[in-house]
Structure 1
């Protein structure tokens, strides 16, 4: 499993060296955009609409738009200076809480934590302590220069870290439009709905659920592939380097010949002058 980060978990005075691995991956089928005429993948260039030119990476700066059309430019050196202040590669556990106290809306992404060299015993200690106490740790970690809030818990005998949103990143549910406030249902309707829920209640088995649309798209693509309904980009013919070199040499020779070719009109004039003399 690929390691994306190395650091440590600080658990009181205990320091646990760990490695971080992604626990999930998106399985969406991605599509490329081709030119319909020649089936060549389309390029997306960064163009300045004011200068009407393609802009290279070196010509792009980062800026914060504090109001419409007004920006504060942040230099790379300034940003790196701020990043250095947060380079302490440690997952600092701040508090321990019950998992049920955290609403699922806060959760973002999951990562597995594995013990690094010399961290096996301390890793096992934290894992056992979390299991026995039935608590999870609330921690802070800096990943790719961004400070994140996270939950550390036990998942199938492995420590799992889940990044979570800060409170100000979760929008207020009160702002959702047209949510009915009054209870407008009858007891009979409610009893029927609860009966239906009871009939559909079961234990959660992740393997029972599949992305049917993704599977249909994949099978459709495989069928087209088997039927040889494939396309390849038209290759733009480029001159061979050797041919280019020979052409350049021949052009140079031809040009030199033209430059050295004597002016016959001047030669005739000088000949006539001699005869008259």
Structure 2
């Protein structure tokens, strides 16, 4: 695993030398834009609409649009002056309970591994946080960007998760339609609760997969190998308008499903893609 950052965890006067590793990876399939006529990849050029010519990288500066069409220019020297100090430290400011932080704040995850001379202090911090049930709230600067982060116990090691600052999380008050007062029907609420209970299971991440990505890869492979690609027709869906009827139909449909594996198998049927070789 590639080390993307080296530094130290600090809390109080304790410093723990660590290495930072990406804990997740993007599995999205990307496409190139190509010319329909000859299948050549399209190049994107930076063109000034006023000068009507391509602009080179050394001619480009940074500007902030404070009003439509009006910019204030910011040069690199000014940015360097106010940039956060890259001190290579994950400075733990406070220790808090994990359930006090709503998941909406979570951003990216990184594994933290001890450097050669930091094993003992690393394990000490890990065990102390495990015993107290607390996580560390910290600040970290990666690639000149200052982030708020948490350090927590994960499996047999430590995990760092960058989190959004409060001003980066939008208020739910901006969402329209949430203040409308609707009287809920007790029978409908009971059935909705029953449906949730029937669909409740233990979270086993290995049972879930990206069905669209799998189908897309099969489509790509069939194109490369020259095989025929077919998608089975879906069964027609029943358009149930009445809420009570929809709840009852959902409950009846989920009754035979006794475990999450059966449920997920059923969900995948609509996206299941089969290939067959051309005869």
Instruction: Please indicate the TM-score interval, normalised by the length of the shorter structure.
Output: 0.7 to 0.9
What SS does structure 2 have at the residue aligned with 1:124? helix
Partner of 1:73: 73
Partner of 1:7: 7
Greater Cα radius of gyration, structure 1 or 2: 1
- Structure 2 distance, partners of 1:58, 1:161, is 37
What SS does structure 2 have at the residue aligned with 1:4? strand
Q: Which runs of 5+ in 2 are unaligned?
A: 229-279
Question: Are 2:32 and 1:32 aligned?
Answer: yes
- Structure 2 distance, partners of 1:127, 1:40, is 53
- Taking the TM superposition and a 5 Å limit, the aligned residue runs for 1:112-151 are 112-151=111-150
* CA drift at 1:180: 4.8
The answer on whether the counterparts of 2:86 and 2:142 sit within 8 Å (CA) in structure 1 is no
Partner of 1:43: 43
**1 or 2, which has the higher helix percentage?**
1
Partner of 1:53: 53
- Structure 1 distance, partners of 2:220, 2:47, is 34
- Taking the TM superposition and a 5 Å limit, the aligned residue runs for 1:224-235 are 224-227=223-226
Q: Which runs of 5+ in 1 are unaligned?
A: 230-277
Partner of 1:239: none
- Structure 2 distance, partners of 1:7, 1:159, is 14
* CA drift at 1:165: 0.4
- Structure 2 distance, partners of 1:224, 1:87, is 48
For normalisation by structure 2, the TM-score amounts to 0.79
Partner of 1:249: none
Q: Deviation digits for residues 231-255 of structure 1, max 9, x if unmatched?
A: xxxxxxxxxxxxxxxxxxxxxxxxx
Partner of 1:110: 109
* CA drift at 1:41: 0.4
- Structure 1 distance, partners of 2:131, 2:181, is 43
* CA drift at 1:70: 2.0
- Structure 2 distance, partners of 1:33, 1:71, is 31
Q: Which runs of 4+ in 1 moved over 3 A?
A: none
* CA drift at 1:94: 0.5
* CA drift at 1:172: 0.4
Question: Are 2:200 and 1:201 aligned?
Answer: yes
* CA drift at 1:179: 2.2
- Structure 2 distance, partners of 1:16, 1:8, is 5
Q: Deviation digits for residues 18-73 of structure 1, max 9, x if unmatched?
A: 11111001111101110011111001111111111111111110112222222221
- Structure 2 distance, partners of 1:144, 1:181, is 45
What SS does structure 2 have at the residue aligned with 1:223? helix
Q: Deviation digits for residues 107-147 of structure 1, max 9, x if unmatched?
A: 00000111113111111011101111111110000011010
Higher relative contact order (CA 8 A, sep 6+): 1
What SS does structure 1 have at the residue aligned with 2:92? strand
